[in-house]
Amino acid sequence: MILPGASGRPSLTWWFFFFLGSGFAGLVYEVVWLRLAMAAFGVTTPLVSIVLSVFMAGLAFGSWLGGRLSTRGVDARRGLVRYATAEAAIGVLALAVPSGLRAGHALFAASGTTLAWDSAAYHLVSGVLVALTLLPCCTAMGATFPLAMAAIRTAHPDAGTRAFSFLYLANVLGAACGTLASAFVLVELLGFRATLAIAVAVNVLVAAAAFARSRRLAPAPAMAAAPAAPPETAAMRPTVLAGLFVTGLVSMAMEVVWIRQLTPYLGNLVYAFAGILAMYLVATFLGSRLYRTWIGPETCARAGGLAWLVAGVAGLLPLVAADPRLAMPPPVRLLLGVTPFCAAVGILTPMLVDRWSAGRPDRAGAAYAVNVLGSIAGPLLAGFVLLPAVGEHTALVLLALPLFVAAAAGIVRPALVGADGPPSLGRAAWVPVALGLAAIVVLSTRSFETRYPERQVRRDHTATVIVIGTGMTRDLLINGTPTTVLTPVTKSMAHVPLAFLERRPADALVICFGMGTTFRSLLSWDIRVTAVELVPSVPEFFPYFHADARELMRSPNARVVIDDGRRFLERSPDTFDVITIDPPNPPEAAGSSLLYSREFYTLARTRLRPGGILQQWIPTTDLGTIASVTRALDASFPHVRAFPSVNLRPTLEVGGVHYLASDRPIPRYSVAELVERLPARAARDLIEWPLEPTVEGNFARLLGHEMPLAALTRLAPRAPALADDRPFNEYFLLRRWVFAGSQPGS
C-alpha cells in the first residue's frame, strides 16, 4: 500500500505512477491520432511529418508555458491541483480529437476545393486543421512536467536538483508500455477508438488520484514566494541547451533512418515499427535509470563527456546491424542497432535537463522544450534531406558527427556538458580510441542493397526503391520488401473489369503503380488511364520492366500522379468507368488497410460512374483477412462477385481472390462474350505471358472457379468487416498465435 510521506505530503511513489500512466496515455494518443489523421488527410510523408511535428510542437509550447506558470507562488496542495487539472484537460481534449479531425476533414471536403494538384497548398490547409485539433491537448501534455516539478519542489525539498529525471524515467517507461499494449494487444482486440478511450480513462484516473491526494493536504496560509534564482554555474550556460537540442535532433533523425535500414529484416508491418519504438523507449528508460542510480552530481564532469562519446560510437552500430553479410536473427539486429545509442541518450537528456534546471521547474520546462524542438527538426532533416540525398549509411555517419564533436568539447571543456571541473587528459585519451572504432565500423560495413551485385537504386523522401533481375525474374523492392513481380495476375486486374463493363470504357484509374503492368494493360484498350503512386521513385523504373514504357508515357492517354490513392479519390473531381487496385505487399503491410476498408470502398464508389466496376485483388494471406475484406466490400457495394486468382491453382491459400464490385448487377457473360469484348491489342496483351495459351483459356479459368461471397465469409465467421477503426489485416498477432485454436478460420 502506498502511503503519504512525512507531514502528510504525498509520497514521491505516487508521482512515479502518475507519470507512468501519463506516459502510457501519451504514446497511445500519438499512435491513434496519427492513424486517424492519415485516414482523414492521406498517407503521405509530409502529412505524417505534420502530425508528428504538431504533436512535438504542442509538447514544447506546453513545457515552456508550464514552466512560466510554475514561477507563480505555489504550495504543495495548489501545485498538485494544477497538475491534476492538466491531466484532466488532457483526457477531455484527447477524447475530442477524433471528432475534431472528422470535422476538419468534412469542412475541407464541403468547401469543394480541390486545390488542383497543388500538394503544398493541400498540406498547408490540412496542417492547419490538424494543428487546431491537436495543439490544445498536446500543450496540456507538455505542461505536466514543470507543473509536477513545482509541486514536488514544494512538498519534497529533499528531491534536490533531479526531479525532472525522476519524472522522465517514469514517463518513458509508461510510453514503452503504451507502445507495446496498443500495437500488440489493444488495437487488434478493440480498434483505435476504444484504445483511445482506454488512454483517456488512464488520464482521468491519474487526474482523479492527484485531486484526491491534494484534498489530504492542508492548504497553505499564503502563497509561497517564487524561489530565488541560484547563481549561474557552468551547468546553466546556453551550451547545455544546445546539447539538448542536439540529442533531440539526432535521436529522432536516427529513428527515421533505422526504419529504412531495418525494414528489410523486420518487415513493413506495424509490429516492426512498434518494435523499433518500444526498443527505443525501453533503452532510454534503462539509460535514465543508470543515470539516476550511478551518476551523481559529483560525477557528471566525468560521465558527461564519456556519455557523448558512447552515444557517437553507438549511433553507428545500426550500420553493423543492417549489414546484409552478417547472419543475425531480426530481433538481434534490432537489439544491436537501437539499444546502445538510446541508452546513451537516456543518460544524456535527463542529465542535461537536471543540470541546467537545478530543480527549478521554469528552467526545466524551457530545457525540455528545446529538446523537443530538436525532436521536430530531426525527422524533417532525415526524411527530406539526408535520406534522399545520401542514403541510410552516410546519413547515420553525418548524424553521429555532432555527437563526437560534443564529446571532444565536453572532455576538453566540461562546462559544455553541464559540469564543473577541469579537463581530464585521461578521459581525452578515449577520443581517438572512439574515433578509431567509428572509422572501422563505417569503412567495414555495407548497406542492404549491396547484397544485389546488379541493381538500380533510387531514394526519395518516402522510400528507398531497388530493382533487380532480368527477364521475367525482375523484382521491385521498396525499403527492401519485394513488392510485385511480372505476373499475369496484374494483367487480369485490368482486362477482367473492363471486359465485364456493359458499355465501351472511356477511362480507368489504377491505384498503386508497382511495375506498371496493370497501367500498361489498361492502356492497351486505348482509353484514358490515370495511375496514382505514393512513392515518387517507383514510376521512374517503368522502363526497367517494360521495353515500351517510354513510348506509352508519351501517349496523351497516360497520366501518372504522385499521391496517396485514397487522398486522390477524396480531392479529385474525376469519375471513372473502372478503378483497379494493385495492393501493396504483403496484405498485412502497415497502413494498407486504408486501401481495403469499408470507408475506402464507399469513397471509391463515389468516383465510379453508374455501372462502373471496382476491381480489388487480395493476394495470399490468412483466411480471416479474406473474410474481413469480403464483408467490407459487401457492405459498400450492392453487387460483388469473387474469383480465385487466375495466376496459380485456384485455392485461396495460394492465389488470393479477385473481386468485382459495382452499384449495378455485374453481367454474367459467357467465355465467348468476354473474348469478343476485348480489343485485339488487349487480347495480345492478356496472353503476352501465357498462363493459358489462348484468351478463351484465361477467361474459362476465371469463370470456372467463381465463389459466392457467403463461402468466403464462412472462412472466418467472427472476422469483422475491415474498417478504418478495425484494421483487421494489419493487426493479426493475437488471432494467429494466441487465439488460433479458439477462433476457427480467423
Q: Which CA distances in Å does 522 have to 52, 253, 379, 528?
A: 38, 41, 38, 8
The pLDDT of 438-453, averaged and rounded, is: 95
How does residue 652 score in pLDDT terms, banded at 50, 70 and 90? very low
CA distance 417 to 244: 10
The pLDDT of 98-113, averaged and rounded, is: 79
Contact present, 683 and 695 (Cβ < 8 Å): yes
- Tell me what pLDDT residue 182 has: 95
The pLDDT of 321-334, averaged and rounded, is: 95
The pair phi, psi for residue 558, each rounded to 5°, is -100, 130
Instruction: Choose between 76 and 622: higher pLDDT.
Output: 622
How does residue 425 score in pLDDT terms, banded at 50, 70 and 90? low
C-beta neighbour count of 230 within 10 angstroms = 12
CA distance 10 to 13: 8
Express each pLDDT in 374-412 by its tens digit.
999 999 899 889 999 999 999 999 999 999 988 887 776
List, edge to edge, every strand of the sheet that includes 481-485.
455-459, 464-468, 475-478, 481-485
- Element (H or E) spanning 229, and its range? none
- Tell me what pLDDT residue 305 has: 75
Q: Could you tell me which residues are beta bridge partners of residue 468?
A: 455, 475
Contact present, 362 and 146 (Cβ < 8 Å): yes
- Tell me what pLDDT residue 117 has: 39
Q: Residue 183: which of 253, 91, 249, 281 has the closest Cα?
A: 281
Express each pLDDT in 665-717 by its tens digit.
999 999 999 999 999 999 999 999 877 789 999 899 888 889 999 999 998 99
As a whole number of Å, the CA-based R_g of the chain is 28
Asked if residue 162 has pLDDT above 60, the reply is yes
- Element (H or E) spanning 482, and its range? strand 481-485
Instruction: Tell me the residue length of the chain.
Output: 746
Write the DSSP symbol of residue 734: I
- Tell me what pLDDT residue 6 has: 41
Contact present, 241 and 369 (Cβ < 8 Å): no
- Tell me what pLDDT residue 744 has: 43
Q: Could you tell me which residues are beta bridge partners of residue 511?
A: 532, 581
- Tell me what pLDDT residue 5 has: 43
Instruction: Choose between 161 and 29: higher pLDDT.
Output: 29
- Element (H or E) spanning 531, and its range? strand 528-533
CA distance 71 to 274: 38
Contact present, 516 and 542 (Cβ < 8 Å): yes
- Element (H or E) spanning 657, and its range? strand 657-662
- SS3 per-residue string spanning 236-295: HCHHHHHHHHHHHHHHHHHHHHHHHHHHHHHCCCHHHHHHHHHHHHHHHHHHHHHHHHHC
What nine digits make up the cell of 456? 538500380
Cα angle 250, 448, 403; round to 5: 20
CA distance 509 to 579: 5
- Tell me what pLDDT residue 260 has: 92
Q: At residue 631, what is the residue type? A: R
Q: How far apart are the first and last CA of the chain?
A: 43
- Tell me what pLDDT residue 583 has: 77
- Between strands 507-511 and 528-533, the pairing is parallel
CA distance 698 to 701: 5
Write the DSSP symbol of residue 526: S
Q: What percent of the chain has pLDDT over 90?
A: 61
Q: Is omega for the bond preceding 238 within 30 degrees of 0, making it cis?
A: no
What nine digits make up the cell of 441? 565500423
- Element (H or E) spanning 483, and its range? strand 481-485
- Tell me what pLDDT residue 8 has: 45
Coil/strand/helix, residue 549: helix
Q: Kindly provide the b/e burial profile for residues 137-147, where b requires at least 16 CB atoms within 10 angstroms of the residue's own CB.
A: bbbbbbbbbbb
Rounded to 10 degrees, the C-alpha dihedral 474/478/481/487 comes to -40
- Between strands 558-562 and 528-533, the pairing is parallel
Coil/strand/helix, residue 515: coil
How buried is residue 221: exposed, middle or buried, by Cβ count under 10 Å (0-12/13-18/19+)?
exposed
How buried is residue 219: exposed, middle or buried, by Cβ count under 10 Å (0-12/13-18/19+)?
exposed
Q: Which residues contact 380 (CB under 8 A, 6 or more apart)?
A: 49, 53
The pLDDT of 54-70, averaged and rounded, is: 89
CA distance 711 to 315: 52
User: Can you give the pTM of this predicted structure?
Assistant: 0.89
- Mean pLDDT check: name the lowest of 66-70, 73-77, 290-294, 569-573: 73-77
- Tell me what pLDDT residue 7 has: 43
